[in-house]
Amino acid sequence: MLNSKDSLKALVSLVIEKTLLDIGKPVYEKVTDSLCKKYHCYIPDCFEKPEYLKAVLKDLYGESYDEIINSIKRELDEFVYNKKVNMFLRVLL
């Protein structure tokens, strides 16, 4: 059972990175570059600020950003019992 904030942040970061890299390294690089330029943050920061990730994905991929978010959600579904993961997903969706 995951409870510590650091463990949850690491889990969410890995899921985001895996999802983006599964699509392709250029996608991962575009998203991380945009996060850095636009919000001065990195993927692990998205756990506390999922709205940043959502905005970057929407800017870069328009309506198809939904597919990326749904993929992240599927990976995290088994952890929605955790309030922080649940809140992350609600903001992202």
- The pLDDT tens digits for 30-50 are 999 999 999 999 999 999 999
Mean per-residue pLDDT for 11-17?
A: 97
Q: Provide CATH code, domain 5-92.
A: 1.10.1200
- First-to-last alpha carbon distance for the chain, in angstroms, is 24
Query: How is the chain split into domains, by residue range?
Result: 5-92
Q: pLDDT (tens digit, 9 = 90+) per residue, 73-82?
A: 999 999 999 9
Q: Sort 57 into a burial class: Cβ within 10 Å, 0-12 / 13-18 / 19+.
A: buried
